[in-house]
Amino acid sequence: MSERKTITLIPGDGIGPEISSAVCEIIKAAGVDIDWDIQTAGADVAVAEGTPLPQRVIDSIKKNKVALKAPVTTPIGKGFRSVNVALRKELDLFANIRPCKNIEGINTPFSDVDIVVVRENTEDLYAGIERQIDENTAESIKIITRAASERIVDYAFQLALKNSRKTVHAVTKANICKLTDGLFLDCARNVAKKYPQIEYKEILVDNLCMQLVQNPSRFDVLVLPNLYGDIVSDLTAGLIGGLGIAQGANIGSEYAVFEPVHGSAPDIKGLNKANPAALLLCAVNMLKHVGFLDAAVKIENALYKVIKDGKVLTSDLGGDASTTEFSAEIIFNL
Ligand code: NAI
């Protein structure tokens, strides 16, 4: 086993603290020695410290290089800008990787889904350049650069190569956003030439959504600008059983922040109903990333066994178990 590690933990808000504590308990039960450097962020922190993302959070991740992050609420239509977007930008976590593969025991309309969504994570409409022109008009500026587009497409091809995947689809709306998505597509075509062993294809995002719900098995690796990646990865999560099991990772050249696809789920906050599996799968990847391979596989197997057995499941997976009962069952199966 690897030596003891210090890793930043952002417990988030909403269901974040409940699922974080479940995941930390499971990791501890698997015998992994982690010193969690707990860093709060979000609305309560904004009240107490004047900003929802204090510098201490960034400094902690820069020091530890790796973080596990539960969701943080972003006020809708008003209030502070997203902590999640700011964090990704600040640490240049340019690639948001969201794998989506069927899990045995979860009944879904398709049994052959195995897709990796590679979402550009630093620009597009998430640049947050918006302005109110008058009472009835507002505008938002979509930023697409050659550097960020080439970097994310290259990452997608590298990922395909390393994981013996066959096809990369570049996803855009370049028929309408001719300059911005057109630039992304131009970059994708250029980068694709470097990887003749991987098949390169293009698809418009609206058509992709329709095809995904009809025949998802024809897709392998998808590379998308930020906004389409955000939306499509929720769709692909739905294909395999929902947000409760959809893992993700934000990767940069220096730092990695592992966080699930889902948000803070305010509708079930504090009810002990949230599924901790998505964050647990993120933690499994994080453990692999820092070298705790055996423990990662042990946790992964225990989780998959509990889901396959189907006796103790949270309500999003059709069961009636609480967060704590579900995580206790995983610990029992370790
Ligand atoms: P959401 O992902 O929080 O919830 C959507 C639906 O899925 C809800 O019905 C919720 O109960 C369910 N759900 C989500 N995670 C679940 C889990 N682990 N177990 C069981 N059910 C689960 O999306 P929503 O409602 O659009 O966003 C809520 C807040 O989260 C917003 O403030 C949003 O900005 C924020 N958010 C934060 C993210 C992050 O921190 N990375 C990512 C996405 C949203």
Percent of the chain with pLDDT over 70: 99
pLDDT of 76 above 70? yes
Task: Report which ligand 1 atom has the smallest distance to the Cα of 12.
Answer: 40
CB-ligand 1 contact for 71 (6 Å cutoff): yes
Q: Find out whether 299 and 284 touch, Cβ atoms under 8 Å.
A: yes
Q: Is 124 in the pocket of ligand 1 (CB under 6 A)?
A: no
Give the distance, in angstroms, between the CA of residue 262 and the centroid of all CA atoms in the same chain: 8
Please work out whether the CB of residue 268 comes within 6 Å of at least one atom of ligand 1: yes
pLDDT at 79: 86
More confident position, 77 or 332: 332
- The pTM (predicted TM-score) of the whole model is 0.95
The pLDDT, as a whole number, for residue 68 is 98
- Residues 276-281 have a mean pLDDT of 98
- The average pLDDT across 146-173 equals 98
Residue found under tokens 């709060």: 40
Mean pLDDT on 12-28: 97
What's the chain's average pLDDT? 96
- Please identify, by atom number, the ligand 1 atom nearest to the C-alpha of residue 82: 34
Q: What is the mean pLDDT of residues 160-189?
A: 98
- pLDDT confidence bin for 81, thresholds 50/70/90: confident
- Closest by Cα among 71, 117, 62, 69 to 90: 62
pLDDT digits (tens, 9 = 90+) for 189-199: 999 999 999 99
Looking at residues 54-59, what average pLDDT do you find?
Answer: 97
Residue 9 has pLDDT above 60, yes or no: yes
State how far the Cα of 42 lies from the Cα of 51, in Å rounded to an integer: 8
Of all residues in the chain, the percent with pLDDT exceeding 90 is 96
| Pocket of ligand 1 contains residue 275 by CB under 6 Å | yes
Mind listing the pLDDT tens digit for each residue in 203-230? Answer: 999 999 999 999 999 999 999 999 999 9
pLDDT of residue 3: 75
Residues ≥6 apart with Cβ < 8 Å to 302: 26, 330, 331, 333, 334
134 Cβ below 6 A of ligand 1: no
Parallel, antiparallel, or unpaired for β 114-120 and 34-38?
A: unpaired
Residue 1 predicted with pLDDT over 80: no
Residue 123 has pLDDT above 90, yes or no: yes
Region 45-67: mean pLDDT is 96
What is the token pair recorded at 53?
Answer: 């993302």
CA distance 30 to 327: 12
pLDDT of the residue at 27: 98
Name the residue of 126, 243, 307 to mutate for ligand 1: max ligand atoms within 8 A of Cβ: 243
Q: What is the largest CA-CA distance in the chain?
A: 61
Q: Which pLDDT score, from 0 to 100, does residue 7 have?
A: 98
Are 200 and 180 spatial neighbours (Cβ–Cβ below 8 Å)? Answer: no
Distance between Cα 122 and ligand 1 center (Å): 21
Identify the pLDDT of residue 2.
Answer: 54
C-alpha 264 – ligand 1 centre gap (Å): 4
